[in-house]
């Protein structure tokens, strides 16, 4: 008898996590969604919502225990929890870097360390981690976020080599700009202001970042693509979901000399 597959989705209260959770629900999955803003366990609009703070070990453990009571299977984990801090490399504080890395990268590590023993016992499972095209290339004033996504890219490569013998597949989703998310997860660095030596360049770059996000691609379409990817027998290891110009930027970054890339990206973000 075929059973309904179960997926855990982190960061599912807003942004790409929410759109992914909805797409998976519509595709017939049992969706167990976690987010810090979920105050209590409840089922809403066909999705099981559980409190989850991926930066806290005890919260991750509590989420996993509660999820296993809903369904004893973990067919897939889709990790979307994330945040960024906008600021210059010089003025972004160590505490701000730590907060971003703790959420974006170490949050995934914590979730994987809970899910992997279950998947090994099942002899199958799928782990999807949301990276970004910023995991492939850097842009100015989004450096903590970029560093965290680069960390995810390298971590995922090693993870796939380790877990493939257990029937576990790993995939990276690399979104470009999409219309989604909340400004509370995009704070400006505490030290950024008119007195900063980077103020003019910072204002130009962050205005461009905001414009690209608010005029970005359809997040529902991204969610549907991820749902279809999870239904394939073999997932691609990398799935970049972006606009044509963002695909082009990644290719140029890969093949052009570093100085050319710097000149192109600086001209785009800093007027």
Does residue 13 have an active-site annotation? yes
Contact indicator for 101, 151 with CB cutoff of 8 Å: yes
| Tokens (6 digits) for 47 | 């999705």
267 is a domain residue: no
In a domain, 256, yes or no: no
Evaluate whether 132 touches 75 at the Cβ level (below 8 Å).
Answer: no
Q: What is the structure's pLDDT at 75?
A: 97
Residue 251 included in any domain: no
- Say whether 149 is catalytic: yes
Spans of the chain, pLDDT less than 50? 1
Catalytic residue among 130, 132, 149, 269: 149
Q: Is residue 269 part of a domain?
A: no
Catalytic one of 5, 13, 130, 132: 13
5 is catalytic: no
Let me know if residue 107 belongs to a domain.
Answer: yes
CATH number, domain of 171, equals: 3.40.50.720
List 131, 132, 148, 180, catalytic entry: 131
DSSP string, 86-134: BB-TTTS-HHHHHHHHHHHTHHHHHHHHHHHHHHHHHT-EEEEEE--GG
- The pLDDT value given to residue 141: 96
Question: What pLDDT does residue 271 have?
Answer: 83
- Residues with Cβ within 8 Å of 57's Cβ and at least 6 positions away in sequence, in order, are 110
- Positive or negative, the CA dihedral 196, 198, 201, 205 is negative
Examine residue 258 and state whether it is found in any structural domain, yes or no.
no
Active-site position among 145, 155, 202, 269: 145
What is d(CA 224, CA 27) in angstroms, rounded to the nearest whole number? 8
Would you state the pLDDT for residue 183? 61
What's the number of domains the chain is made of?
1
Tell whether 76 is covered by a domain. Answer: yes
37: its two tokens: 């803003």
Any domain includes 257: no
Query: For the segment 136-165, what is each residue's pLDDT rounded down to a tens digit?
Result: 999 999 999 999 999 999 999 999 999 999
Q: What confidence score (pLDDT) does residue 206 get?
A: 93
Domain encompassing residue 136: 6-244
- 14 is annotated as an active-site residue: no
Nearest to 129 by CA among 186, 77, 176: 77
Q: Output the pLDDT for position 179.
A: 85
Strand pairing class (30-35; 42-44): unpaired
């Amino acid at each position: 008898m075929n059973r309904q597959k179960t997926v855990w989705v982190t960061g599912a209260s807003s942004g790409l996590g929410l759109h992914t959770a909805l797409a998976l629900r519509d595709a017939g999955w049992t969706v167990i969604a976690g987010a810090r803003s979920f105050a209590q366990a409840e089922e809403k609009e066909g999705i099981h919502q559980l409190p989850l703070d991926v930066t806290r070990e005890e919260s991750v453990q509590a989420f996993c225990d509660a999820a296993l009571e809903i369904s004893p299977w973990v067919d897939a984990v889709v990790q979307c929890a994330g945040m960024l801090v906008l600021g210059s490399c010089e003025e972004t504080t160590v505490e701000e870097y730590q907060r971003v890395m703790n959420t974006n990268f170490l949050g995934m590590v914590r979730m994987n360390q809970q899910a992997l023993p279950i998947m090994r016992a099942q002899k199958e499972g799928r782990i999807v981690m949301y990276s970004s095209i910023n995991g492939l290339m850097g842009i100015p004033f989004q450096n903590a976020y970029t560093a965290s996504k680069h960390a995810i890219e390298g971590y995922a490569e090693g993870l796939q080599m380790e877990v493939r013998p257990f029937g576990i597949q790993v995939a990276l989703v690399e979104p470009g700009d999409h219309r989604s998310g909340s400004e509370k997860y995009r704070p400006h660095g505490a030290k950024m202001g008119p007195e900063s030596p980077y103020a003019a360049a910072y204002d130009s770059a962050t205005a461009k970042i905001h414009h690209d996000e608010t005029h970005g691609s359809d997040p529902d379409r991204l969610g549907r693509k991820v749902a279809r990817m999870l239904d394939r027998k073999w997932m691609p290891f990398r799935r970049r979901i972006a606009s044509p110009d963002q695909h082009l930027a990644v290719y140029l970054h890969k093949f052009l000399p570093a100085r050319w890339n710097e000149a192109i990206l600086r001209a785009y973000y800093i007027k």
